[in-house]
Copies of this chain bind each other. A is one copy, B any other.
Amino acid sequence: MTVTIYDVAREAGVSMATVSRVVNNNPNVKPQTRKKVFEAIERLGYRPNAVARGLASKKTTTVGVVIPDISNAIFAEVARGIEDIANMYHYNIILCNADKRKDKEIRVINTLLEKQVDGLLFMGGAVTDEHIQAFNTSNVPIVLCATTDEKGTIPSVDIDHEAAAYDAVKQLLSEGHRRIAMISGTLQDPANGYARYQGYKRALEQAGLPVDDELVRIGNYKYESGMEAAQYFLGLSERPSAIFAANDEMAIGAIHAVQDAGLKVPADISVISVDNIRMASMVRPQLTTVAQPMYDIGAVAMRLLTKLMKKEAVENAKVVLPHELIVRQSVASV
C-alpha cells in the first residue's frame, strides 16, 4: 500500500541507510547513487513518514504554538512573525487555539507535548502557577510570546505594557487633558490588563491628578465593551475630555459610541489606545495609538526558541521590545 524507505532501497538496489542519507541530504553519498535513489523515489512516489522519523530521531522539527484566540488581530499578526522565522529555520508550526480559556490552554499544552514538539510558544494571556507546572513537566524549551510570567523564570518576548499605557496617557496629558477616563481590560492579568492600568495610574499621579474610580470601566477588549464604557462616560455629570482604552478595538467602539451620541472625535472627546492593529487606520478618524510590534514579537520569540532548541547560549531570555506612539487623528488638544 504505502511505499516505505525499504521499497525505495530495493528499487534502487541500495540499503535503507543510503536512502535515508539521500533523503536527509547527507553528503556522504556518491552522486551517482544519489541519482539512482532519487529516480527510485520518483518512480515509486515515495513520501517520507515524518512520524517514523520523529520516533527514530527523537525530533519532530515541529514547534507548538498556543494562541489564545485565533480571530484576534493581534495574535494573528504575532503568529505571522512566528511563522516566517519558523519557516526560515525549517520548523513546522502546530497552531492550537485555546479559546482564551485556562483549562483549554493547559490541555493544549499537554497535547502538544505528547506530540513531541521540539519547542513551545505560549502566546498572550495570564501565566498562572498551573501553566508553569505544565511547562515544568516538559523537557523542551518554552518561550512566552506577548506575555510574561511574574516570577520571571520563563523566557519571554513582550513589550512593557505599563510603559506603553503610561506613554499613551502622557500624550493626552501633554495635549492638556485633565479629565481622562480609562477603558481597561481585566485587572486579573498581571502581564497585560493590570500593567496597562498601572501605567494609566502612574501617568495621572505623576501629573498630580486624582485617579477617579468613576472614570475607570473594565471591558473585555471587545468593540462592544468599548462602546458600553464610552456610553457610560457620556452619561456622567462631568464627562471626561479624553478616553484611554486598553486596546484598539475598545477604542474604536468608544469612538463610535461618541459619534453615535452626536459628538465628535476628537473635537469633543479624544481617544487613544495601545496596539495599532490594522483597523486603527481603517476607521474615521484614524486612531492615535501606541504601537506594539506584533510581528516582531512573534519573530523574536521564535528566533529565541530556535536558539534554545539548539542549546545555544542566549544572553537575554527576557526580551522587552520597544513600543511607539503613532499620532493619527483621534486626539486633539483641549
Contacts and interface: CB of A to CB of B under 8 A. Distances in A.
Contacts of A76: 70-71, 76
A223 B92 CA distance: 30
A333 interface: no
Report how many copies the assembly holds: 2
Contacts of A97: 79-80, 83, 93, 95
Interface stretch (A107-115, A162-170, A208-216, A232-240): A107-115
A79 B70 CA distance: 8
B49 A114 contact: yes
A128 interface: no
A110 B47 contact: yes
A282 to B, nearest CB: 5
A266 B139 CA distance: 59
A279 B259 CA distance: 17
Contact of A71 (B80, B115, B284): B80
Interface residues of A, number: 46
A116 B50 contact: yes
A14 interface: no
Of the candidates A47, A52, A70, the one having the most CB atoms from chain B within 10 angstroms of its own CB is A70
A205 B182 CA distance: 54
A95 B94 CA distance: 6
A26 to B, nearest CB: 18
A137 B282 contact: no
A268 to B, nearest CB: 16
Interface string A18-61: 00000000000000000000000000010111111011000010
A201 interface: no
A2 interface: yes
A252 interface: yes
Contact of A51 (B54, B79, B110): B54
Interface of A: 1-2, 45, 47-52, 54-55, 60, 62, 70-71, 73, 76-77, 79-80, 83, 92-97, 110-111, 113-116, 137, 139, 223, 252-253, 256, 259-260, 278-279, 282-284
7 contacts: A50-B111, A70-B80, A76-B76, A80-B97, A223-B282, A253-B282, A284-B284
